[in-house]
Amino acid sequence: MKRSDYRTENSNPMIIALDGKSWEEILPLVERLRPTGCILKVNDLLFGQGIERLLPELSTYGRVMADLKCHDIPKTVENTCKRLRICPPWAVTVHASGGAEMVKAAQKGLGHCETKILAITVLTSIDQETCEEIYRRRPFGQVKHLAKIALDAGADGFVCSPEEAPHLRKIFPEATIVTPGVRSAGKDTHDQRRVATPREAIKYADHFVMGRQVLEASDPEAEVFRILGDELKIDAFCL
């Protein structure tokens, strides 16, 4: 089975969230999405199917973001990331709130793999009031604080909402920034609080995450091409 060509993959900033679905449900979806070059984000499925089985299979369809959200003692995170060596994904996520030593442990576990380490900062489901209740900071201040901890420890980038991305791009110009909570104008925001359109997100982020809007479309492949071509005007996807 052939993946999308190198140019298409490198031109596509979209990450598709495949969370909450069984392997049997995902298979026809990733087959449909294979020509688009999207990055495939998996979370709970890695635990249900097993890293050693899922990563090699899913990687035949495209780049994979192993959204493990590692948050444990350093040795446990190191051991978890070691398991990714069997078929290194495009990226793995770790919680920045786990601290610098945990981020370094993820690096150690990955060894010489080229997998990016992306730090989770403040979840986009958390609004300002909740953020202040938990962290005693507003979202931007806490995201900046966590991003700096992770980047200083060797992370390649971080995940933040589209609201924080413009300011953080100025502070951390070399970081890989991924923004979830992205919907086309007029689409349901579901459980996300700090959201943006694809055009707004890509101004400052390297990649953005989409889920239900694509997966629940009557033609997921066509919806991806519509967003990338019609909304974002990316040359590789303009007909």
User: Any known ligand binding at 183?
Assistant: yes
CB 179 within 8 A of CB 200: no
User: Any known ligand binding at 212?
Assistant: yes
Catalytic residue chosen out of the listed positions 72, 104, 108, 206:
72
Catalytic residue chosen out of the listed positions 2, 21, 44, 69:
69
**Whole-angstrom Cα distance, residue 107 to residue 103?**
7
Two structure tokens written together for 110: 């990955």
Active-site annotation holds for 67: yes
Active-site annotation holds for 230: no
Active-site annotation holds for 72: yes
Dihedral angle of Cα 150, 154, 159, 160, to the nearest 10 degrees: 50
Among candidate residues 17, 34, 70, the one with its CA nearest the CA of residue 178: 17
User: Any known ligand binding at 192?
Assistant: yes
User: Any known ligand binding at 41?
Assistant: yes
User: Any known ligand binding at 62?
Assistant: no
Two structure tokens written together for 90: 């495009």
User: Any known ligand binding at 211?
Assistant: yes
With a CB cutoff of 8 Å and minimum separation 6, the contacts of 132 are: 138
DSSP for 33-101, written as a single string: HGGGT-EEEESHHHHHH-HHHHHHHHTTTS-EEEEEEE-S-HHHHHHHHHGGGGS--SEEEEEGGG-HH
Catalytic residue chosen out of the listed positions 5, 44, 67, 187:
67
User: Any known ligand binding at 191?
Assistant: no
Binding-site residues from annotation for substrate? 19, 41, 124, 183, 192, 211-212
Catalytic residues: 67, 69, 72
Binding-site residues from annotation? 19, 41, 124, 183, 192, 211-212
